[in-house]
Structure 1
Amino acid sequence: MSTPDLKITSTIIPEELRLNVLPRYLGGHYLSGEMMVYDWAARLCPRYQGGYWNFFALSNGGFYMAPEGMERIHVRWHLNGYSDTMGADAFGITVTLFALCHLAEKTLDDAIIERFQQLREFATHHVEAANILRAID
């Protein structure tokens, strides 16, 4: 758990280290976790057609994935009435939070719950925090 006075930072994970990222953060759930991220991207943005995703490590021990090369993305979630646009980084955080929540419910794995909490903590300080938090509410 991070100290509230310290800013949580993100660092892009280099290409040569990507192979071990999801197993490190999601353990044995890494395959289903990755598929959930892409599934949630398609659910939240029907125009999403796939693409390359960057992986980010957080200074509090968390991580997230974000699509590369996308501009503003229209996100809609019918269960809470959210409909707005956000940048690719915020979209990645939002999608990863949805996927981690889904994976935590499915597995009841405390490590996955911790990953969700770490990312949510980071999201509260993101430049698009209001959009991210409204989308996941």
Structure 2
Amino acid sequence: MSNTSDVSAIAANLVPENHRPRFLPRHLGGLMLKGEFLVYGWLEQLSKDYGGGLWNYYDLSNGGFYMAPCDDKRFKIDVSGNYFSGEMSADAAGIVASLFAQCELANRYADDKLINQYHWLRDFAIEHAESDLIMSAID
């Protein structure tokens, strides 16, 4: 008997430019603008290194999604609520900001889809190369 599992890793797929207009409506419906601004706002609140710019959108193979700055630089993230301070890639910083935003939406609207999206992104974050930093930031 084998103890190995057939569970595959969750894949993040960059959304092509021509599919971006449908990305947020598909994931957030009527809350798309609120959700988008929450993600930007969370990163602005968590990192003095963030000053706006272009963002990438990612669909996850498990049904989730996230947004991340289109940047090669690293971001210092400070979370006063849990005393986390650390430096991470733009991708990881985007995951953190997306998790905070999705958590806020799920708590505010208590919608099953919003709650699931948070958990789907968190499942992906656990597998991410910078999972220790991400999990510490959101803890």
On whether the aligned pair clears a TM of 0.5, the verdict is yes
Segments of structure 2 that go 5 or more residues without pairing to the other structure are none
Q: CA RMSD in A?
A: 1.2
Residue 60 of structure 2 is aligned to residue 41 of structure 1: no
Distance 1:123 1:134, change over 3 A: same
The residue aligned with 1:105 is 107
How big is each residue's C-alpha offset from its partner over 1:3-61, in whole Å with a ceiling of 9 and x where there is no partner?
97111001100001000101101111111000100100111102311100000010001
Amino acid at match of 1:122: F
Match of 1:80 among 79, 82, 85: 82
DSSP 3-state at the match of 1:124: helix
DSSP 3-state at the match of 1:5: coil
The residue aligned with 1:32 is 34
For these two proteins, the number of residue pairs brought into alignment is 135
**Normalising to structure 2: TM-score of the pair?**
0.94
Amino acid at match of 1:104: A
Distance 1:17 1:94, change over 3 A: same
Deviates more, 1:31-40 or 1:41-50: 41-50
Question: How high is the sequence identity, in percent, across the aligned residues?
Answer: 44
Amino acid at match of 1:57: D
Which stretches of structure 1, 4 residues or longer, exceed 3 Å deviation after superposition? none
| Alpha-carbon distance in 2 for matches of 1:28, 1:108 | 15
Segments of structure 1 that go 5 or more residues without pairing to the other structure are none
DSSP 3-state at the match of 2:127: coil
